[in-house]
Amino acid sequence: MIENSPLMASGLARDIEFLAARARSIGTLITNAHLAGLDLRVRSYSVLALACGGLSPTQRELAEFLRLDPSQIVSIVDQLENDGLVVRKTDPADRRSKIIVATEAGEARYSEAVVAARAGENEALAALSPSEREDLRTLLHKVAFTPVE
Amino acid sequence: MIENSPLMASGLARDIEFLAARARSIGTLITNAHLAGLDLRVRSYSVLALACGGLSPTQRELAEFLRLDPSQIVSIVDQLENDGLVVRKTDPADRRSKIIVATEAGEARYSEAVVAARAGENEALAALSPSEREDLRTLLHKVAFTPVE
DNA sequence: TATTGTTATACTCTATAACTATA
DNA sequence: TATAGTTATAGAGTATAACAATA
């Protein structure tokens, strides 16, 4: 019964950074569990999501948006490409850049994954009402896209 | 300019789990930077925080509250003990358990660390008004302490 | 000269299983 | 037999530097 832990009395329990870390830890655990059957994890799911829907991001854009190092994007795209879910296309405008685009199989896999991820989100946010979820989304959006560095 | 990225149009940008992960990534980066001069990181800071103020947690309680594996607590407590900031005391009531309590040096270090962590939180939440920060704290608290497993 | 993707490397974080000492 | 802490190990996540191709 974590809610009744005496540690709830500590200042840490009111520290937003700690609460965000704990919430994210739970969220990742639950979402990974929901994605497991689709051979995806949170990170590969997020890359696949951005490769779908004609957004045509470069690896550099993926790295910045997902806050992952460019070298990490390489290995995630390697996996997804190996699984036939995305392809790399050289950008005709700048031949240094590779544009990542989902294959048909990738789009299909993503359709299933969205449902799984939504179920995970639903489970992780069980304690919140629909309007609270919208409030949280709005607040986190502001924080998540605060410019940094 | 991340706010103007075309990837903002993706569904992922409205995914609470993704936003929480991105916010936490920024928060950890900033908080670690603020704690660096005190020879602490987010994880060791959080253990030290719970060891202060007479809460006398066991390692097991720390693991559950921080969502870290018991074996991770061992190495964090090892470091803190090595630095003279906490000590392990065998629980007289159950000699299997070790109670973690901050030394005077630990309490002093924590006093400085709280100030640094607050400054980090302030920087990470620059986009939010004071009342928005309270809303975020309340919402995250509910999510962070949702029972899981 | 600067940037994109890539490779290599190391360090931090997370998860699992097995061991010991207590209960 | 079950639980707290410990050790060992492996795997996932994160950060840095160096290199080839291209700008």
* pLDDT (tens digit per residue) in A65-95: 999 999 999 999 999 999 999 999 999 999 9
| Rounded Cα–Cα distance for residues B72 and B75 (Å) | 5
Q: In Å, how far from its chain's centre is CA B35?
A: 12
Put simply, whether A74 touches B (Cβ < 8 Å) is no
CA distances from B109 to B38, B52, B112 (A): 7, 10, 5
Q: Which of B1, B14, B19 is the mutation pick for testing A, counting most A CBs within 10 A? A: B19
Q: Average pLDDT of A62-66?
A: 97
Q: Is the pLDDT of residue A148 over 90?
A: no
Both structure tokens of A141: 């959006």
Read off the pLDDT of residues A40-54 as tens digits, 9 standing for 90 and up: 999 999 999 999 989
Placement of tokens 């007289």 in the chain: B92
Put simply, whether A107 touches B (Cβ < 8 Å) is no
- Residue-level pLDDT at B3: 83
- Residue-level pLDDT at A149: 65
> Per-residue confidence of chain B (149 residues) as pLDDT tens digits?
788 899 999 999 999 999 999 999 999 999 999 999 999 999 999 999 999 989 999 999 999 999 999 999 999 999 999 999 999 999 999 999 999 999 999 999 999 999 999 999 999 999 999 999 999 999 999 999 988 86
- Residue-level pLDDT at A4: 84
* B30, amino acid identity: I
User: Could you tell me the pLDDT band of residue A3, with boundaries at 50, 70 and 90?
Assistant: confident
Which residues of chain A (52-71) touch nucleic strand C at CB < 7 A? 58-60, 63, 70-71
| Rounded Cα–Cα distance for residues B128 and A140 (Å) | 10
Q: Could A21 and B25 be called an inter-chain contact, meaning their C-beta atoms sit closer than 8 Å?
A: no
Which bases in strand D are touched by protein, i.e. have an atom under 7 Å from a CB? 3-9, 12-17, 21-23
Which of B21, B50, B147 is opposite residue A24, by nearest beta carbon?
B21
- Residue-level pLDDT at B53: 87
pTM tops 0.75: yes
Which of A62, A124, A144 is opposite residue B23, by nearest beta carbon?
A144
| Contact (CB, 8 A) for B63 and B131 | no
